[in-house]
């Protein structure tokens, strides 16, 4: 799969092509629609397996007490909660998302988890992060990169705000590597997911987009090359659930 072309006027929005300038607003509308039921839908869609993926993801941060972390496109704060627990009261976590309604849900979840004082929330576009260079020990983005308009630019921004030796971690849907898994996964994604969206979130179209956005996203090798192009070193990926999801990482050297 080729790299996304940042010079194209048209970009993917699921299987549709839309003007580059419109994608962020279209994505924002999707997540405005599903924000209040986002976590419930994640549990239903993945049979709860997303929690295991995220638990493994968090286990790989190597964060220590008093470190600083940034979770990009962090929405409802499930990753930020884990990061805050890892860095402790002397550390600092920033939860960022382009979508204000998702951040509202995230702030409520942080309060419910009893996390106050070491997490800030910032409404920000991943392509233009409002943070100084070399500010964070670890930057994470979980299931958010595929919704970004200019993915290489977002990766460069996340790299920019990493400290030397800091780690960028990306958890994202990827390409199944088990031959029999792909047709089953496709059938589930395009038959069951929109129906769940219709029944639970009252929005089949948004979950049709989410299924399509997964299929249009880069494969493991292409995403690795994007991390290398951003200047990251020791780039690697680890497949989960047969490649349905992959953890990618790279370090700022």
- CATH of residue 48: 3.40.50.150
State both tokens at 199.
């029944």
Q: Can you give the pLDDT at residue 222?
A: 95
230, part of any domain: yes
159, part of any domain: yes
The answer to whether residue 70 scores a pLDDT higher than 90 is yes
State both tokens at 155.
């990766």
22, part of any domain: yes
Rg of the chain over all Cα atoms, to the nearest angstrom: 17
Instruction: Find tokens 């990766």 and name the residue.
Output: 155
CA–CA distance, 225 with 231 (Å, rounded to integer): 10
Domain count, the chain: 1
Q: Can you give the pLDDT at residue 212?
A: 80
219, part of any domain: yes
191, part of any domain: no
4, part of any domain: no
pTM confidence score: 0.86
CA–CA distance, 141 with 61 (Å, rounded to integer): 12
Non-local (6+) Cβ contacts of 196 within 8 A are 41, 44, 45, 207
CB-facing half-sphere around the CA of 232: CA atoms within 13 A: 31
The 10s digit of each residue's pLDDT in 223-244 is 999 999 999 999 999 999 999 8
163, part of any domain: yes
Q: Can you give the pLDDT at residue 226?
A: 97
Distance of CA 179 to the CA centre of its chain: 26
Task: Print the domain residue range for 78.
Answer: 10-178+206-252
Instruction: Specify the DSSP element, H or E, that contains 178.
Output: none
193, part of any domain: no
């Amino acid at each position: 799969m080729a790299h996304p072309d940042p010079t194209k006027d048209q970009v993917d929005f699921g299987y549709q092509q839309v003007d580059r300038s419109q994608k962020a607003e279209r994505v924002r509308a999707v997540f405005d629609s599903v924000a209040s039921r986002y976590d419930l839908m994640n549990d239903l869609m993945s049979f709860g397996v997303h929690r295991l993926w995220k638990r493994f993801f968090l286990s790989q941060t190597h964060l220590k007490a008093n470190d600083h972390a940034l979770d990009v496109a962090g929405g409802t704060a499930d990753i930020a909660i884990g990061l805050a627990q890892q860095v402790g009261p002397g550390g600092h976590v920033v939860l960022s998302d382009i979508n204000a309604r998702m951040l509202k849900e995230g702030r409520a979840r942080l309060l419910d988890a009893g996390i106050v004082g070491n997490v800030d929330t910032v409404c920000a576009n991943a392509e233009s992060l409002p943070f100084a260079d070399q500010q964070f020990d670890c930057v994470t983005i979980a299931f958010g990169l595929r919704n970004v308009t200019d993915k290489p630019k977002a990766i460069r921004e996340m790299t920019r705000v990493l400290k030397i030796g800091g780690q960028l971690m990306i958890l994202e849907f990827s390409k199944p590597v088990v031959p029999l898994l792909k047709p089953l996964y496709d059938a589930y994604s395009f038959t069951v997911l929109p129906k769940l969206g219709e029944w639970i979130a009252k929005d089949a179209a948004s979950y049709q987009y989410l299924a399509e956005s997964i299929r249009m996203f880069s494969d493991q090798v292409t995403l690795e090359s994007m991390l290398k192009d951003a200047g990251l070193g020791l780039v690697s990926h680890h497949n989960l659930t047969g490649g349905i999801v992959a953890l990618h990482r790279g370090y700022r050297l």
